[in-house]
Each structure stands twice: as structure tokens, then as C-alpha cells.
Chains A and B, each alone.
Chain A
Amino acid sequence: MRAHRRTKRPDDELAFSTLRPSAGSTALRSRETAVLDLQHQAGNHAVAQMLSGSRSEGSGSRYEDVVATDETEEPDWDAPIESEADERTEERAEDGPAAAAAAPAPATPAAPTSFPGYASMRGNDTVRTAAWAAWKETLRTATATGRREQGFWVQWDGTTTPNATGTFRVVGATTGPVVTAAQGATISLGTKPADSGDWYTVGSFHTHTPTKHRTVGRPVGPSSADLAADTNDNVAGLVYDYKEAKNGNVPAKWPIWSEALIYPSGPRVRS
């Protein structure tokens, strides 16, 4: 279960104080009640500043109200960093080594024990829709003078199930160089995005190009170079290409909207 977290803003001081008053501070509450009357005159920001000063005096910590709403939940270490987080850390360090030693060490989120692979990505609506769109664009942009591949990386939200029903997103969408009918098509997806927070890079995707405007046929499916790249990147690769016509090839002038499929390339699942 994900912990609820809220980034503190100056205007939030009043709201947090109202919800979670400092314990054992009657005088402080009186002062806070008094300044509430100023809210409509001076505005939230001014009131917030006054309250902040009061708490600093009364409790020794101006941040005690900024806590997770459910303390039984684990903190979300991957949430966006609050602008004041560094400041808070410095203040704690100034309390001395004993205080620093008493502070709880941040927990490292547990890494997933399994990842979704080729079949999961191929069956996921987000990935499938993006793959189909890329394939259509690849076909529609192919002309007698040029054609190019398209591709992207696939990331998975590690807090969701590692199968087709999990949450995926595609990132780093790119196109390969435009090549002539006499050249082979290539694509470089760039450096694999590092795992970040809950998002894990689990797959690569790219298209192959039609032979509609070419005088030669070609093999279908992933090449050895595709397999090597996906193996090296430790991702399950997906390649959109035509279904073979004969002997693993499609001939020249192959009808552009011929049957196609998504082939696996490299590992079926990342490690």
C-alpha cells in the first residue's frame, strides 16, 4: 500500500496545524487562534509565517506537523523530493551526532522479484497500442525514396503486477535514419533508461521496414544484431515485422499492409 505524502507549501502550514495541533501547547494554540483572525486581512502566507515562528518557539521543530497521514505505512521514498528536504537534513545534523545516530535510516524500496516479459508486454494495451501506432507510421512513411524504423523503450511500474495487466509506459520514442531502397534500415534507441523509482525498463521495441518499394526481399523477424542488442541491454525485445512469406523471408514489392506480428528478440524477460 502506498503511503500518502504531501509536499508542504507555506500556505499549507495553517491546514496542517488545524489537522494536527502540537501536543501540550495550550499557549501556542491560543496564539494560533488569535492570528486566525488576521487570515482574511493578511492572507494565508502571512499567517503561515507567524504560525511557523510560534511552533519553532514552542516545540523546537517547525516541521513536526509535516508527516505522513498514516504512520503505519511505509514512506514513499520515490516521491518527488520536497524543496525543503535538504534544509531539514541540515538542521538535524546540527543537533549533534547523537541526534543524527538516533534518526531512522531511510529504507531502500525492495526490488521486484520478477519482471514482465515479452508475452506480458505484447498483451498489454499500452504497449500494444504504441507498437501498432509505430508500425502504421513506419508503413505510411515508406516511399520509393526512403523509409525508416521506429522504436522505443518499455517501462513497467514495479508496484503493479508483472504481467499484461500491469502498468506500462513507453519512453524514448525515436526513429532511425531514413535510408534508400538500396540500404538496410537501422535504429539506435540510445542508452537504456535507468530504473528510476518504481519504474523499471523491461523491454525494447522497434519496427522493420516494408519492401513495397524495393527490388529485393529480406528476412523477417529479429536479426542477430537485434538479439545481441537486447541481450546486451538486458531487456525483452519486441520487433514488429511481416509474417514470413517463404523460407523466413518476404519478397520485393510485398504488399504494404500484409499480415504482420510482434516477434520476440533477445531474452524473454529481463533479469
Chain B
Amino acid sequence: MLDEEAVATARALVDGVLEVDPDGEVTVERADGVVVVTFVHAGQPGERGPDFDAKVTLDEATGELVEILGS
């Protein structure tokens, strides 16, 4: 699964569940057979808040959803 595919899959999975910035920063990490796609939260200076708007964990081989975390 390419990074672009993982991001597209993750974005489709959170649609309607969590608000993510369509133009915001997205990171992709791989470890232990999963791909973790993180939609980074763009906080304001001095703000106390979450690190991400959504974190989606996918099975690297199948692309199936493992977990969605909000913040």
C-alpha cells in the first residue's frame, strides 16, 4: 500500500466521523504490519489542544481499518 493510497483510504474512513483539514499536514508511519495515517491538528500559538484531528491505523497488507482515534 503506497502512502498516497493509505492517506486516501484514511481520509475516506474519517469522512463524516471526524473533521480534518483538507489542506492540513498528514503524516504516514509504518510499523509492525500497520500503516498509521495522522491528520495533524493545526493549533493556535499558546493553545492547549490535541496533536491530531484523526489518527487512522490500517493493516498494511490489506488496507483494512484497524483503529480510528480522535482527540
Contact = CB atoms under 8 A, between A and B. Distances in A.
Interface of A: 149, 151, 180, 182-189, 204, 206, 211, 214-219, 223-226, 229-230, 232-233, 249
A100 B35 CA distance: 75
Contacts of B44: 186, 188
* Interface residues of B, dominant DSSP: loop
Given A214-B70, A216-B69, A216-B70, A184 B53 contact: yes
B50 A223 contact: yes
B71 A184 contact: yes
A225 B19 contact: no
A224 B43 CA distance: 11
11 contacts: A182-B18, A185-B71, A186-B48, A186-B49, A186-B50, A188-B44, A223-B49, A223-B51, A225-B43, A225-B49, A225-B51
Given A216-B70, A223-B71, A225-B41, A187 B19 contact: no
B34 interface: no
B46 A232 contact: yes
A219 B48 CA distance: 15
Interface residues of B, number: 21
A215 B47 contact: no
B47 A182 contact: no
Contact of B51 (A151, A206, A215, A224): A224
Nearest to B52: A184
Given A218-B50, A223-B49, A225-B48, 17 more contacts: A151-B48, A182-B19, A182-B70, A183-B18, A183-B53, A184-B52, A186-B43, A187-B48, A188-B44, A188-B46, A215-B17, A216-B70, A217-B67, A217-B69, A225-B49, A229-B47, A229-B48
